[in-house]
Each structure stands twice: as C-alpha cells, then as structure tokens.
Amino acid sequence: MPKYPKVLLVDDDADDRALVRQALLECEEYIHLVDLPDGSDVPRYLEACPDASLPTVILLDINMPGRNGFEVLTELKSNNRYGHIPIYMLTTSSVLRDKKQSIDLGASGFFTKPNKYADLVKVICELVS
C-alpha cells in the first residue's frame, strides 16, 4: 500500500486554509490534510496521533492568536517524538527578522504566502514533494 503525504496545516485564516487545501490537491492526487486554526491545538493533536500517523510535513503560520508560530515551532522542535518532522513557515510576513528567527528555531524553510494562486501552488508542491 503506498504511503501518502500527511500534511498538518496550522493557520488561523479559514480562507488561507481553503486555498492551501486546494493547492495541495493540485500537487498530490492523494494526500491526507489535517488543518488546525490555532497553534494551541497542535501539541494536543500530535499527542493523540499514533507514531505511524504523525504528519510527514507541517505548514505553520506565524501570526495567530493564542500561541503564535514561533512558540509552536519551538515546542515541536524540542520534542523528541516529533522534532524530526519538517516544519515550514507559510506566512504573510516577508520580514527578514521573522525568516531568520524561524530558521534559528529549527524551521526547514520560510515562505511568504504568494498573492497569485499559481505561485501558491508552486510553493505548496515544492514543500510536499
């Protein structure tokens, strides 16, 4: 049985989650997407996942109410169980300081959400390939 990518998307903006979901479907015929609207939900979700069901990649927004992306990134990267999962910051921020902080905290990459849908598809396909 083939193993399909499992993506955890964490973003408080419902429209952005819908766009990323659509872009993922254009990249992969079969994909398991779980989206969460709040960074505070991430540890609880991952704790409930059996090891075989952990995401293969996490897409994480920075600017969220409650726990922001930096806080979530820090917690995940310090956890032995899921610190190995690639985490990409996918955010509206284009501030160099945010990119540097993300990488310093262990993010695998930093991507500013593109304005054009075709560009978003290209970014998303790169992240899940």
Is residue 80 included in any domain, yes or no? yes
C-alpha dist (Å) from residue 108 to 43, 57, 75, 105: 19, 10, 15, 9
Please state the domain count of the chain: 1
Write the pLDDT tens digit of every residue in 101-127: 999 999 999 999 999 999 999 998 888
Kindly report the CATH number assigned to the domain that includes residue 82.
3.40.50.2300
Q: What percent of the chain has pLDDT over 70?
A: 98
Residue 63, domain extent: 6-128
Query: How big is the CA angle at 46 (ends 45 and 50), to the nearest 5 degrees?
Result: 110
Q: What pLDDT does residue 3 have?
A: 67
Is residue 15 included in any domain, yes or no? yes
Q: How confident is the model at residue 1 (pLDDT cuts 50, 70, 90)?
A: very low
Is residue 14 included in any domain, yes or no? yes
Write the pLDDT tens digit of every residue in 65-103: 889 999 999 999 999 999 999 999 999 999 999 999 999
Is residue 54 included in any domain, yes or no? yes
Is residue 89 included in any domain, yes or no? yes
Is residue 32 included in any domain, yes or no? yes
pTM of the model: 0.93
Is residue 114 included in any domain, yes or no? yes
Q: What pLDDT does residue 126 have?
A: 85
Pairing assessment for the beta strands 57-60 and 32-36 based on DSSP bridges? unpaired
Is residue 1 included in any domain, yes or no? no
